[in-house]
Amino acid sequence: MEAIAHRKTAIRALAREDLNAVVAIDAEIEGRSRRDYIERRLAAALREPALHAQFAAIEGDVLVGYVLARVLVGEFGRPHPGLRLEIVGVHRNARGIGIGAQLLQALMAHARKHGVTELHTSAAWNDHDMLRWFDAMGFSLAADRWLECQVNGAAYLSGRDDAVDAPDGTGPGHEIDYGAPGDNDFEKLARDSADVRSMKPQDLQEIARIDRAITGRDRGDYIQGKLTEAMSDSAIRVSMTARLDGVIVGYLMARADTGDFGRTAPAAVIDTIGVDPEYEHRGVGRAMLSQLFANLGALRVERVETSTAPRDQALLGFLFDAGFRPSQRLAFNRPL
């Protein structure tokens, strides 16, 4: 590709036929191809346009940049809609002329049009180029903190009990019993605490009921969106429910993928976890984590991550007790 700085840049929505160009630019930036990941993201945006925002920068008839973002409705316990910037890339011959800023402006205009008031993103602390770009684009360090746990080193088999709110800190406070005794066969004990199954469309009503009991809000649209994603792209969703006494008493929504925020190794991200307040202290949350880690191990996923608000001490205590530790990833936001 020749230098193209003198051409006029046009911003438009990404289309299916842009896949090869996006994959090529991304591979040049990352040093490897992430075709499967990008293809799934484009397909998801075409399938559910209300939940995605993806734009392309065009010089003449050549794609020279792109940005991919996902709508946040309830992930990580956020009470208000947001937009999560996940990938941005510009061809090496088109850098330094403001194409990244144009793509971000298009993303922000889309967000404002749809009532979104904040952009969210993250990056590794040592990704200096990305951190400088975030700084130049008006992002600030967020209060949220990323936590992570290695799949093969999880302490979630500690045998301790739990009581988990949804990760927003706005629901009623529930005590976590950290004093429950351990057991020698921790992994078996954890999974035997509840009947944990893959999430299914017919689970929606019960999951929404539990979510309302925890958060005090109706997030039915968010739950429905996650269920739809789980059913339509089972390769990356690893969501599950837990049953006791024949009814659903807990749920965990997670996705396993490579690519978001520049990740280079397979990782799973927990978006939401909740336990029916009437079934606290019975190992439900621990049972779901145990099954999640077992499933991820079979998928050769190496790490589990999640984002938490500092005010949610109950969830933080549960996750630290389960073996999670501060991540090397930093959270950023930008008010619109």
Residues 82 and 170 in one domain: no
Strand 52-59 relative to strand 240-244, pairing: unpaired
List 82's β-bridge partners, or say none.
Answer: 72
Q: What confidence score (pLDDT) does residue 41 get?
A: 85
Q: What confidence score (pLDDT) does residue 185 get?
A: 40
Stretch among 64-73, 109-118, 235-244, 253-262 having the lowest mean pLDDT? 253-262
Residues 236 and 93 in one domain: no
Residues 61 and 180 in one domain: no
Domain endpoint, select from 64, 98, 116: 116
Phi/psi region, residue 283 (left: phi>0; alpha: psi -120 to 50; beta: rest), is left
Residue 258 DSSP SS3: coil
Tell me which DSSP letter residue 66 carries. Answer: E
Strand 303-308 relative to strand 145-150, pairing: antiparallel
Residues in the chain: 336
Model pTM greater than 0.75?
Answer: yes
What does the pLDDT look like over 133-184, one tens digit per residue? Answer: 999 999 999 998 999 999 876 554 444 433 333 333 333 333 233 223 333 3
Q: Is residue 86 part of a domain?
A: yes
Q: Is residue 192 part of a domain?
A: yes
- Residue 72: CATH number of its domain: 3.40.630.30
Sequential DSSP letters for 192-210: HTSEEEE--GGGHHHHHHH
Residues 110 and 150 in one domain: no
Residues 187 and 82 in one domain: no
What does the pLDDT look like over 175-223, one tens digit per residue? Answer: 233 223 333 344 444 556 789 998 888 999 999 999 889 888 887 777 7
Residue 45 DSSP SS3: helix
Q: Is residue 4 part of a domain?
A: no
Residues 87 and 220 in one domain: no
Q: Is residue 102 part of a domain?
A: yes
Among the residues of the chain, which ranges form H helices? 19-30, 35-47, 99-113, 128-136, 186-192, 204-215, 220-232, 284-298, 313-321
Residues 72 and 184 in one domain: no
What DSSP element (H or E) covers 84?
A: strand 82-90
Comparing CA positions, the residue from 209, 218, 272 lying closest to residue 240 is 272
Strand 118-124 relative to strand 82-90, pairing: parallel
Residues 167 and 280 in one domain: yes
Residues 212 and 295 in one domain: yes
What number of helices (H) and strands (E) belong to the chain?
9, 14
What does the pLDDT look like over 18-54, one tens digit per residue? Answer: 999 999 999 999 888 888 888 888 888 888 888 889 9
- How many other CB atoms are there within 10 angstroms of residue 195's CB atom? 16
Are the CB atoms for 115 and 268 separated by under 8 Å? no
Helix, strand, coil content of the chain in percent (nearest 5): 40, 30, 35
Q: Is residue 251 part of a domain?
A: yes
Query: 214: domain range?
Result: 145-328
Domains of the chain: total = 2
Residue 3 banded pLDDT, cuts 50, 70, 90: very low
Kindly state the tokens that stand for 25.
């630019």
Q: Is residue 133 part of a domain?
A: no
234 vs 106: CA distance, rounded Å: 31
Dihedrals φ, ψ of 133, to 5°? Answer: -65, -45
Reply yes or no on whether the pLDDT at 81 is more than 80: no
105 vs 16: CA distance, rounded Å: 22
Residues 208 and 108 in one domain: no
Dihedrals φ, ψ of 323, to 5°? Answer: 105, 0
One-letter amino acid for residue 97 of the chain: I
Residues 56 and 185 in one domain: no
Residues 107 and 173 in one domain: no
